[in-house]
Amino acid sequence: MRPQGYILSGGKSLRFGSDKARHKTNSQSLIENLDQKLSHWTGQKSIAVADRSDKYLDLNIPTIPDIHPEAGPLAGLHAALTHSQKTTQDCWIVLISCDMTELKPDWLDILWERAQQSEGALSIHFMERNSKKSEPRLHPFPGCYHTSLIPILETRLATQQRSFFKLFQQLNQKCHSLPIPENWPKIPQINTPQESLDWQNSQDHDSGSLR
């Protein structure tokens, strides 16, 4: 059985200017598109994590509120893991963010296969190596996360340590970083209206080249 899927959607979208989860591309909002893809892969309805439980009621997306309000994406991960621990018997969850431009089932297959095979792992995610940069770029989303992270997250949140990347450093060998798939998008997430425009233009260009 595949794990429960959660969609992180608690940010204020300050750079975007409005709730980017509701930003429409091809007549459908980002979060609706991601919800459909994630729910199809997990075989169960996805759950959003946001600042309030009724945020996406009109979109028929069940939502749980952050336990630690306004504490960033790490708080969203904590809320998702806590909810899963209380409502399921799963040790793992799949977490994505509402601003992802794409979500492929083969990405989730790769992550989930590693999670099942890796004894002692607490985090499975992708990593992008760039020859122009000395440090690789870590992608927390999509990712598989283990419920054993809960006490670690509670300690970090209590001391105002809210960085995903510092968490990965703390986990060390319990954090597994996999190479990004070949079909990884050039713009994996949208944070500004310009990034949305650039991404849609790239989609139009790609579709045009296939004609």
pLDDT digits (tens, 9 = 90+) for 95-107: 999 999 999 999 9
pTM (predicted TM-score): 0.92
Helix axes 164-171, 73-87, angle to 10 degrees: 60
What whole-number distance in Å separates Cα of residue 51 and Cα of residue 64? 8
Range of the domain at 186: 4-209
What whole-number distance in Å separates Cα of residue 100 and Cα of residue 11? 13
Confidence of residue 198 (pLDDT cuts 50, 70, 90): confident
Confidence of residue 188 (pLDDT cuts 50, 70, 90): very high
Q: Helix, strand or coil for residue 207? A: helix
Q: Which residue has the tokens 């994630």?
A: 38
Q: Helix, strand or coil for residue 90? A: coil
Confidence of residue 203 (pLDDT cuts 50, 70, 90): confident
What whole-number distance in Å separates Cα of residue 99 and Cα of residue 189? 5
Confidence of residue 202 (pLDDT cuts 50, 70, 90): confident
Question: What pLDDT score does 210 carry?
Answer: 44
Question: What pLDDT score does 204 carry?
Answer: 61
Question: What pLDDT score does 211 carry?
Answer: 41
Other C-beta atoms closer than 10 Å to the C-beta of 135 total 8
Rounded to an integer, the average pLDDT of 60-89 is: 96
**Number of independent structural domains in the chain:** 1
Q: CATH number of the domain at 70, please.
A: 3.90.550.10
